[in-house]
Amino acid sequence: MALAAAREITGLAARATALKGRFDIAISGGSTPLETYKILGRPSFTKELDWRSVHLFWGDERCVPPTHQHSNFRAALSALGPPAALPAQNLHCIPAEHGPKKGAALYEETLRGHFGNQGLPSFDLVLLGMGPDGHVASLFPRGPTLNERNKWVVGVEVPAGVEPFVDRVSLSLPVINAAKTVFFLVSGANKALAVQRALGASAENPDFPATLVKPAGELIWFLDQAAASKTQEIARPE
């Protein structure tokens, strides 16, 4: 799954760079995508990817310092390398250590500086994981941030029952759905029921935020066999 995702990311990067001279990607936190980041950081891959034109953003971040063990920035960079060809100024980390409210406001400024102010920012690719409760990025079930329609970045208070128990900063749903492509990377038997529910959902349900991810562009799920083990039980609409 990790290799398949890495290959597709590389293909999208090449196409975006050829089309507009850069590749704007918002990467996911959590543990599932780390294997993909390790693969992307391999010399065999870095020669495929023109890292000079890659702009790396994060889909969400925990309100901890970037050196903290719970930092998505730290985890992703240590998995990725990062490649020498990736310019430091192309690393757009979320300054979540300033807290959810200020961190979100600062990151929105970063996005406006990069994408401009004419309408929602459209990432070439947004990578997402999914929790067993269907949360994506730091948008948790029945959370107030699910209703945000104007802000590009939201501050999220400590989610109940989802470690680590820290405040978060997250891209808002409108920004995720403005992406040209969204990849879900989900692995493990503990996600099988959530995958079945997400893929089988016939309507958007704020109790299960993954059902609210309806990008303007492509939505592609990368699953390992364990996470996909209940998909054959999904009733297909007639």
Q: Residue holding tokens 């290799």?
A: 3
- Give Cβ neighbours of residue 143 (< 8 Å, ≥ 6 apart): 156, 159, 209
**Nearer Cβ to ligand 6PG, position 46 or 111?**
111
**Nearer Cβ to ligand 6PG, position 90 or 138?**
138
Options 76-84, 115-123, 127-135, 224-232: segment touching ligand 6PG (CB under 6 A): 127-135
- Give Cβ neighbours of residue 232 (< 8 Å, ≥ 6 apart): none
Q: How far is the CB of 63 from ligand 6PG (least distance, A)?
A: 11
Q: Which amino acid is at 126?
A: V
- Give Cβ neighbours of residue 118 (< 8 Å, ≥ 6 apart): none
Q: By CB under 6 A, is residue 211 in contact with ligand 6PG?
A: no
Q: By CB under 6 A, is residue 72 in contact with ligand 6PG?
A: yes
Q: By rule CB under 6 A, what string of x and - marks binding of each residue 52-71 to ligand 6PG?
A: --------x-----------
Q: What are phi and psi of 235, to 5 degrees?
A: -70, 120
Q: Pick from 135, 155, 194, 227 the residue near ligand 6PG by CB under 6 A.
A: 135
Q: How many residues bind ligand 6PG (CB under 6 A)?
A: 14
Residues numbered 2-31 forming contacts with ligand 6PG, rule: CB under 6 A: 28-31
- Give Cβ neighbours of residue 67 (< 8 Å, ≥ 6 apart): 74
Q: Which amino acid is at 98?
A: H
Q: By rule CB under 6 A, what string of x and - marks binding of each residue 145-184 to ligand 6PG?
A: ----------------------------------------
Round to whole Å and give the CA distance between 11 and 126: 14
Answer yes or no: are the C-beta atoms of 213 and 179 closer than 8 Å.
no
**Nearer Cβ to ligand 6PG, position 46 or 94?**
94
